[in-house]
Amino acid sequence: MKSLLKFITCGSVDDGKSTLIGHMLYEAKLLFADQERALELDSRLGSRGGKIDYSLLLDGLLAEREQGITIDVAYRYFTTDHRSFIVADTPGHEEYTRNMAVGASFADLAVILVDATKGIITQTKRHTRICALMGIKHLVLAVNKMDLVDFDTDKFDAIKEEFARITTEFRFESIQVIPVSATEGDNITTKSPNTPWYKGHALLPYLESVEVHASDDVKPFMMPIQRVCRPDHTFRGFQGQIEAGSIAVGDELITLPSHEKAKVKRILVTDQDRNSAHAGQPVTIQLDREVDVSRGCVFTKDDELQEADSFSSTILWMDDSVLTPGKDVLVKVGTKILPGTVTGIKHKIDINTGNTVTADHVVKNELARCEFSLSDSIVFDKFEKNKSIGGFILIDRVTNMTSACGVIDEALQSSDNVNRIDTEITREVRAQQKGQQPLTIWLKGSGLDHSVLAKEIEKRLVARGYHTMLIDNRSGESLRQIVAYATLLNDAGLLAIVPAGFTNDNDQAIAQDIIGQAFLPIEVAANSSIEEAAKDTVKRVVKALIQDSYSI
């Protein structure tokens, strides 16, 4: 059975991506007779003076042909004697970066084109960084239009050296640099006599031979559940694609997040019974006992996958709207979709240098490190080990459009994960000692600097003899972390003051549900001064404390 290579072509506008793939298919005799004839006829009206315009094989949209650029992702399927291929020809214009990212998400290898007359440019760096973000480990740098620089080896070497410098921060497993001419066919399917100084393979032979698949079968078994199949009362099967490892009848599985164990009773591939199945196969698995499993759950053989309801991540924002903290989104990890909230933007990543830049918002096509809080826990793994549950997309809750893609960097501490030691010194004992009822004072509203306001409120409460602690969010903690801190402070008998202007109604509901009766939300008037708002807030806090049995 032939192996399958999924790859993309990317690069800046007019670098020759569509021409490169079109010429490859034409020279390798991978076109049907009617396709070849249509190409020759269409080229008579093209921009090459009647010569064959190979880009027309992939640029099928009228707007693409009129402008001579790629707008949408064009997929082509072809097979040679040595391998099967799926290629995604992606747009080069910055406006269509989201389309390029979509193509990169499925690929094992990327062919990045650069114009030999221009060298490495910003879009080259952008696409390289996105390829790394999307988990691509193998690159081909095709230095195109070598015919326009007279196949100058010095220009080629200079581009090769610069590309090596900008890729040092990424962990690519292989990088091959090939001098080509997409229009003339040099080093596309066969070695060109114009580059005797180049000792490597031509592009197509290299793609036929490069090894990109680390054996997924040797990884631990993992399968996200796509669907529960129950055609009648006698059968209940769990359907999905095996993302890693292998499975056999009789193997014991662990279901996540319920952590139940069951043995495999039956495996079906399509409608055929099999004794085993491996990575890449869509299967239906029947277990020997009933377990609590639904869409979005995960089957595995070990218990090493992580679970969390908040995490930090690196994202590519692809929406026209601006991303700010507090935005509500749908988060899709594997087959699980959950409501979530952007709880913080740690920084943006400069596309040219990779340096971090302090930011409080993110605009289209920018990379950023962000934190998210979810309505429930998700099962995930490191992106390097399992792309299917290590990456995610963000979906706009109003338009249902994909707003961003990203990878999970690490889980954040959840309030559910705070370990408390059983002790005879309870919250009530500590409260009596301090002569006050513990409260979490949740400041909400807009128009004032909540951090400044919280400090003024704390001064006034301390002056009245109350024991307080201020929780600020300037270091970018997640909602769950802040709620966890507030709960611990309440357990210590303190008044926790939270300047929560960054949150929304959904966040408040989550916080109130966790903190309970000690939760006191206060809406701050936007048209008041800091002094007036602090004075009014303290009055309301004191009133709430006086009404309680632990009042002073």
Per DSSP bridges, beta strands 402-411 and 306-317 are antiparallel
How far apart, in Å, are the Cα atoms of 260 and each of 74, 118, 228?
Answer: 43, 58, 17
- 13 vs 536, residue with greater confidence: 536
**What's the Rg (C-alpha) of the chain?**
29
In the numeric block, which tokens belong to residue 509? Answer: 């509901």
Q: The dihedral of CA 172, 15, 26, 78: what is its sign?
A: positive
Which residue among 209, 239, 262 closes a domain?
209
Determine the average pLDDT of the residues in 114-128. 89
Same domain, 358 and 448: no
pLDDT in tens, 530-551: 888 889 999 998 888 887 543 3
Same domain, 111 and 64: yes
Same domain, 264 and 368: no
Write the CATH number for 497. Answer: 3.40.50.300
Whether 216 maps to a domain, the answer reads no
Inter-residue contact 485 to 456 (CB < 8 Å): no
- Please give the pLDDT value at position 495: 93
- Among 357, 389, 392, 355, which Cα is nearest to 372's? 392
- Please give the pLDDT value at position 415: 42
Whether 122 maps to a domain, the answer reads yes
CA dihedral 409, 411, 412, 415 (to 10 degrees): 160
Which residue among 169, 187, 209 closes a domain?
209
Calpha distance 231→237 (Å, rounded) = 9
DSSP letters of 221-244? PEEE--EEEEEETTEEEEEEE--B
Same domain, 313 and 289: no
Whether 134 maps to a domain, the answer reads yes
Whether 214 maps to a domain, the answer reads no
- Please give the pLDDT value at position 203: 92
pLDDT in tens, 501-534: 767 777 788 888 888 889 999 988 777 888 888 8
pTM of the model: 0.65
Same domain, 166 and 40: yes
Same domain, 353 and 296: no
Calpha distance 169→132 (Å, rounded) = 10
Determine the average pLDDT of the residues in 405-421. 67
Same domain, 144 and 83: yes
C-alpha 71 chain-centroid distance = 23
Write the CATH number for 236. Answer: 2.40.30.10
> How many domains, in total, are found in the chain?
4
Least confident stretch, 2-11, 134-143, 160-169 = 2-11
Average pLDDT, the chain: 83
Same domain, 279 and 379: no
Least confident stretch, 30-44, 293-307, 347-361 = 30-44
273 pLDDT band, cuts 50/70/90, is: very high
Domain, as residue range, for 287 = 221-300
Whether 127 maps to a domain, the answer reads yes
Is 60 exceeded by the pLDDT of residue 70? no
387 pLDDT band, cuts 50/70/90, is: confident
Inter-residue contact 110 to 8 (CB < 8 Å): yes
Whether 422 maps to a domain, the answer reads no
Calpha distance 61→314 (Å, rounded) = 33
Indicate the helix (H) or strand (E) that contains 430: helix 427-434
Which residue among 412, 437, 461 closes a domain?
412
Q: Where are the alpha helices (DSSP H) in 86-225?
A: 97-104, 122-133, 153-166, 203-209
Same domain, 441 and 477: yes
Inter-residue contact 464 to 543 (CB < 8 Å): no
Same domain, 242 and 198: no
- Please give the pLDDT value at position 520: 92
- Among 84, 17, 91, which Cα is nearest to 57's? 17
